[in-house]
Amino acid sequence: MIYMDNAATTRLSGRALEAMMPYLTEQYANPAGTYSFTHASNAAMEKARKQVADVIGATSAEIFFTSGGTESDNWALKGTMRANEKKGRHLIISAIEHHAILHSAKALEREGFEVTVLPVDADGVVAPEAVEAAIRPDTVLVSIMAANNEIGTIEPLEAIGAVCKRHGVIFHTDAVQGFLKVPFQAKTLGADMISISGHKIHAPKGIGALYIRKGMKPAAKLLPYIMGGHQENEMRAGTENLPQIAAFGVAAELGRKEQKHAAEHMEQLRAHIVERLQQELPGVVFIGGGAPHVLSLSLPGYRSEVLMNFLDRNGICVSRSSACKQGRRSHVLEAMGLSPKVIDGAIRVSFSRYTTMDEADALCD
Ligand code: PLP
């Protein structure tokens, strides 16, 4: 089996698995306890928090663990809009956001909030000028993703962050596909909140985090989303998922150490596939691009599911476009203005640092 769907999820790294084992077996204490048996749990949680924070140059106090990218996105949008109702009820997102953002925005609309959905250009890029033009006196939040999950396009976040800062608008980015793929530091990005997820970086499924910039003043500008106990500095209730948090920390640290090398490796895979297909597959169209792990391509005249099933029968896993929607045309490809023929023949190939050049050749063959 050749796995080329790493934008959907990645294999768990052996070191991350090892890191979680003590907290699934002997070290089962609840980190919230006060007796000494809890100390190791607490220390492990704070170690992992720092490991995750270090990837984006944040402080540990700015990292809040969640159940994944979807929860982080829901929290950022709903928590911010509901906390700032007095300031305004206007939210700006882009047309190519993940459904965790799109559906959260739709839910907010049903609560009476107003949403502006910004278009993208033919490469899937949101113009910072368009963000600026859409900002109104009652705009509370702008949420634009870091790297797109279907086409890998990297958004100009620093410029968008600067626009938001100039207008005093809160800025969130869904960096689930950008984290450890596209180098960025929280401070230079200018984001107030950043969503990240573990299972895209070789940690287990069901763990993620929301970075909340220190100056964001939680509770005043952002309401907790999950209510209950006092965990995560009163911002995200629920007994912490310590085994997965420990694994997330280790995966983040390993990813940080390998990031440059992994990105170069994946760029080489991508360049090699593009070169071969351009020569050997007449009519192939490459779509978007930017993040090293995603290659979106189309064979106009063929249907994605046929291509995908054909590759599957040959032991190669790729996805239609996004793993999250079955049987519907991609909203991302539609927003880019691509022709129905190109959209209907599109597949997404996505790599990890474990993907080999032989596997890339097998895909081309
Ligand atoms: N945002 C983006 C851009 C994604 O690609 C994904 C997952 O595919 C998510 C959010 C959701 O993350 P999770 O699967 O951790 O809930």
Sheet holding 63-66, edge to edge: 63-66, 208-212, 193-197, 170-174, 139-143, 90-94, 114-118
| Predicted confidence (pLDDT) at residue 1 exceeds the cutoff of 60 | yes
Report how far residue 328's alpha carbon sits from residue 223's, in angstroms, rounded to the nearest whole number: 34
Q: HSE on the CB side for 186, CA within 13 Å?
A: 23
**Mean pLDDT for the stretch of residues 157-167:** 97
Residue given tokens 């190939």 in the structure block: 349
350 and 8 in contact (C-beta within 8 Å)? Answer: yes
Is the beta carbon of 289 within 6 A of some atom in ligand 1? no
pLDDT tens, position by position, 128-142: 999 999 999 999 999
- Detail the DSSP E strand segments found in the chain: 2-3, 63-66, 90-94, 114-118, 139-143, 170-174, 193-197, 208-212, 285-287, 294-298, 316-317, 346-350
Model confidence band, residue 326 (pLDDT cutoffs 50, 70, 90): low
Distance of CA 359 to the CA centre of its chain: 25
Catalytic residue (choose from 164, 317, 324, 364): 324
**Mean pLDDT for the stretch of residues 41-63:** 97
* CA of 15 relative to ligand 1 center, distance in Å: 23
**Mean pLDDT for the stretch of residues 257-276:** 97
Catalytic-residue membership of 164: no
179 and 172 in contact (C-beta within 8 Å)? Answer: no
* CA of 14 relative to ligand 1 center, distance in Å: 22
Q: Please give the model's pTM, rounded to 2 decimal places.
A: 0.97
**Hey, whose CA ends up nearest to atom 13 of ligand 1?**
69
Report how far residue 75's alpha carbon sits from residue 64's, in angstroms, rounded to the nearest whole number: 11
**Hey, whose CA ends up nearest to atom 14 of ligand 1?**
69
What pLDDT was estimated at residue 215?
87
| Predicted confidence (pLDDT) at residue 223 exceeds the cutoff of 50 | yes
| Predicted confidence (pLDDT) at residue 66 exceeds the cutoff of 60 | yes
* CA of 99 relative to ligand 1 center, distance in Å: 8
Model confidence band, residue 124 (pLDDT cutoffs 50, 70, 90): very high
What pLDDT was estimated at residue 327?
64
pLDDT tens, position by position, 20-32: 999 999 999 999 8
